[in-house]
Amino acid sequence: MVLPTQQQLFTKYFSGIALVLVVLQYSLFHLTLLVSEEFASYQRIELLKEDAIKGYQAGVRGIQKLSPIAYAYQNSANVPPLVPRPLPQEKGEILSLFSDYHGEDGFEESKTEFVYSYDEFLLNGEIQSLYIVLFQGEVEADDVLIILVELGFLLISIGSLFLAYLLIAKVSNKLAAPITATADYFEQHQGEPNQQSLASLQAKSREVQSLIDSLAVYQQKVAQLVERERRFTRYASHELRTPLMVMKGANSLLKQSQQADFVLRQQQRIEGACDDMQNFIEALLSLQKISQEKPVQRAVAKVEIQDIVASHLSLLQPGVHYQVEVAEETQTFASETLLQLLLGNLVKNAFSHTQAGSVNVTLDNHALIVTDTGTGLGQSQMSQDSHGLGLLIVKDICRLFHWQFQLQDNLPHGCRAHVSFEPSAALGAPPQGL
pLDDT above 90 coverage of the chain, percent:
9
Contact in structure between 309 and 343 (CB atoms under 8 Å): yes
Q: How far does Cα 238 stand from its chain's mean position?
A: 43
Residue 396's pLDDT band (boundaries 50, 70, 90)? confident
Residue 326, pLDDT score: 92
If you average pLDDT over residues 179-202, what whole number do you get? Answer: 66
Rounded Cα distance between 285 and 310, Å, is 22
Mean pLDDT over each residue of the chain, to the nearest integer: 77
Q: Going by DSSP bridges, is the β-strand pair 358-363/321-326 parallel, antiparallel, or unpaired?
A: parallel
Residue 250 has pLDDT above 90, yes or no: no
Q: At 97, which amino acid appears?
A: L
Residue 119 has pLDDT above 60, yes or no: yes
Residue 359, pLDDT score: 94
Residue 5 has pLDDT above 80, yes or no: no
Residue 89, pLDDT score: 76
Residue 195, pLDDT score: 46
Contact in structure between 199 and 166 (CB atoms under 8 Å): no
Residue 360 has pLDDT above 90, yes or no: yes
- Distances in Å between the alpha carbon of 232 and those of 1, 90, 108, 331, 391? 40, 98, 104, 31, 10
Residues 12-43: tens digit of each pLDDT:
888 888 888 888 877 887 788 777 777 777 88
What is the phi/psi pair of residue 218, to 5°? -65, -35
Long-range CB contacts for residues 385-390, cutoff 8 Å, separation at least 24: 385/231, 387/349, 388/235, 388/238, 388/239, 388/349, 389/232, 389/235, 389/236, 389/238, 389/239, 389/280, 389/283, 390/345, 390/346, 390/348, 390/349
Rounded Cα distance between 369 and 360, Å, is 8
Q: At 291, which amino acid appears?
A: S
Residue 104's pLDDT band (boundaries 50, 70, 90)? very low
Rounded Cα distance between 96 and 42, Å, is 10
Residue 432 has pLDDT above 50, yes or no: no
If you average pLDDT over residues 414-422, what whole number do you get? Answer: 86
Angle at CA of residue 124, ends 123 and 129, nearest 5°: 25
SS3 71: strand
If you average pLDDT over residues 323-340, what whole number do you get? Answer: 84
If you average pLDDT over residues 338-360, what whole number do you get? Answer: 89
Rounded Cα distance between 113 and 84, Å, is 10
Q: Going by DSSP bridges, is the β-strand pair 112-123/94-99 parallel, antiparallel, or unpaired?
A: antiparallel
If you average pLDDT over residues 175-183, what whole number do you get? Answer: 75
CA torsion angle 204 206 211 213 (round to 10): 100
Angle at CA of residue 25, ends 21 and 26, nearest 5°: 120
Rounded Cα distance between 214 and 216, Å, is 5
Q: Which of 397, 314, 341, 407 is nearest to 369 (CA)?
A: 407
Residue 131 has pLDDT above 70, yes or no: yes
Q: Which of 17, 3, 4 is nearest to 165 (CA)?
A: 17
Residue 387's pLDDT band (boundaries 50, 70, 90)? low
Rounded Cα distance between 305 and 300, Å, is 8
Segment (H or E) for 359: strand 358-363
